[in-house]
Amino acid sequence: MVLFFIASGLSLIFGVTRVVNFAHGSFYMLAAYLAYTLAAALPLGGASFYVAVALAALAVGALGTVVEVGLLRRVYRAPELYQLLLTFALVLVVSDVVKLVWGSENKTGPSAPGLGGAVRIAGQLVPTYDLALIALGPCVAAALWWLLYRTRWGVLIRAATLDREMVALLGVDQARLFTGVFALGSLLAGLAGALQVPRQALTTVMDAAIITEAFVVVVVGGMGSVPGALLAAVVIGVIDAFGVLVLPRASLVLTFVVMAVVLVVRPWGLLGRPEAQARSAGGAITAGRGVGVPRWLIAVLVAVLLVVPPLLPTFYVWVLVEILAFALFAASLHLLMGTGGMVSFGHAAAFGLGAYGAALLVRWAKAPMLVALAAAPVTAALAAVVIGFFCVRLSSIYFAMLTLAFAQIAYAIVHQWYDVTGGDNGLLGIWPAPWLASPVRYYYLALAACGAGLAALAAIGRAPFGLTLRAARDHARRAEAVGIDVHAHQWRAFVVAGFFGGLAGGTFVFLKGSVFPESLAVPVSVEPLVMVLLGGVHSLAGAPLGAALYKLLDTVVTRYTEYWQLVLGVILVALVLVFPRGILGVLGARERG
């Protein structure tokens, strides 16, 4: 039921506004902490907890209104993916605001007055509060059904979910509709977070834990479908519970296997409906181009990268290696997004599997370091052959969510396969060969590998293959009409992107000397997406530029403040508002103007 509360809000927001709201989990977390504080502060006796739940939900709903009006509305004219970037920045801001106000220690919330104890059902003790939540869920679902099917506003919401453009043509004030839906969705997330206070400890990472499950529920149930969210929440909740009981070593995999199967068989979800118009994973990559980078500037940059590193302290040399790895990682995603128009939420699979491929060869096969590094992109490409076969049959948001499902399946496998991958202990001692132990020497190897990868991706983008991908991106039906096998080209692009993403992962694992399941986690998929959007999605040069800027900001801010996420998030918000099409995208538009 708690999953239903948060997923129904997320589903409504995406269905109407097309915003993939990564901050939805942050609203959930913030409401939990607000309810925790208000329950202790309000002088209302036993009613304090229930009033605190209502106030926390309303406060988060009001915050959602401020976010939509003050931030998101300013970038609605930009490609919708930049709204996703803005919500990611809000995740960073809210995370550190919670740490700043409440601290990093876990909090234990109060119990709900009048709902303590347990009831014996079928020989098992079931907490009374859990039974109350089970009863509350259908009541909230009924209220939402009445709102959506018995009010004019609900009719507009359902109409906008199916065909937003037609609703606009009929004269509906979209700004007010968007604001109302975003506020309602945020309120539902706040209600879910506040109701969790008696059930679980409050932690500063509870947002990340819930948002992925919420996305699963939304996708399985059907985008924009509240009844679908309720059905999917029940299905996913039961599968998760019985997975822990019956198949504990595969419990993390089951949820995402279900999501993948539903997407392959019925992409629009169990109770969803096919769209009147194809919708993107936060916004289609429309035709356009960024500013061209002069060759003399590239030559100067290469010269600096060759000459300067031996003069730098070791720390900055390692930072440069990390920037090189993520520049290639982001550029490989750009082949999918910018050139092919395929937005991936699971590109961490290529990065992480490449890293694990190299690490496992070193650990179990005792392979030489260079052999292991060469095997990293091959491992990722082989995985991409299988993953891409299923993913390219889908488009828009369904493609993005299926890539997320496969990445999470890979994450769950490496997290629970202790005998081979070390589980959450990871694999340690994965260092470069002795003759490359010097930071500068390894830097030059990384420069050669990542530089060659970037050059290859640039050549692919200019080749007939890249031009064909652009044609399919801009108008798939016309491309098919002239004899192009769109799915085959997209599948090849997926494999190529996986290959270079794996090379980035292999470079990174020897930099860190270790690899952990977090290399395949959702944040690692989001980071290159942020980098591509930050630099500018219409130019390959935007990917390394965004990677360099993001990593430099991350490194500098981290060194000077404990609340680096807050500062970095505020900077990203400012950059999105100033450069709503990415740095190179805005500069290119000004040049053409």
| Contact yes or no for 58/190 (Cβ under 8 A) | yes
* Residue 88 CB neighbour total at 10 angstroms: 23
Question: According to the model, what pLDDT value does residue 130 have?
Answer: 93
Per-residue buried b or exposed e for 561-581, using 16+ beta carbons within 10 Å of the residue's own CB: eebbbbbbbbbbbebbeebbb
In tens, the pLDDT along 379-405 reads 999 999 999 999 999 888 889 999 999
Instruction: pLDDT band for 283, please (50, 70, 90 cuts).
Output: very low
Question: According to the model, what pLDDT value does residue 223 have?
Answer: 79
Average pLDDT over residues 55-66: 97
pLDDT at 288 over 80: no
| Contact yes or no for 16/83 (Cβ under 8 A) | no
pLDDT at 168 over 60: yes
Q: What region does 153 belong to: left with phi over 0, alpha with psi -120 to 50, or beta?
A: alpha
d(CA 256, CA 235): 12
| Tokens read off for 538 | 């219409």
Q: 553 versus 252: which is more confidently predicted?
A: 553
d(CA 389, CA 367): 30
In tens, the pLDDT along 97-112 reads 999 999 999 999 899 9
| Tokens read off for 555 | 């490194």
Give the chain's mean pLDDT: 90
Instruction: pLDDT band for 285, please (50, 70, 90 cuts).
Output: low
d(CA 289, CA 585): 7
Instruction: pLDDT band for 163, please (50, 70, 90 cuts).
Output: confident
- The reported pTM is 0.90
pLDDT at 328 over 90: yes
pLDDT at 593 over 60: no
Question: According to the model, what pLDDT value does residue 383 have?
Answer: 97
| Contact yes or no for 498/490 (Cβ under 8 A) | no
The angle subtended at Cα 471 by Cα 466 and Cα 475, nearest 5°, is 150
Instruction: pLDDT band for 559, please (50, 70, 90 cuts).
Output: confident
Question: According to the model, what pLDDT value does residue 591 have?
Answer: 57
| Contact yes or no for 276/158 (Cβ under 8 A) | no
pLDDT at 203 over 80: yes
Question: According to the model, what pLDDT value does residue 519 have?
Answer: 95
Report which listed range, 158-162, 209-213, 338-342, is most confident. 338-342
Per-residue buried b or exposed e for 479-496, using 16+ beta carbons within 10 Å of the residue's own CB: beeeebebeebbbbbbbb
In tens, the pLDDT along 560-583 reads 888 889 999 999 999 888 888 888
Question: According to the model, what pLDDT value does residue 284 have?
Answer: 46
**Residues in a beta bridge with 127:** 118
Average pLDDT over residues 107-119: 90
Q: How far is CA 13 from CA 9, 49, 178, 185, 477, in A?
A: 6, 28, 8, 6, 29
| Tokens read off for 497 | 């992107």
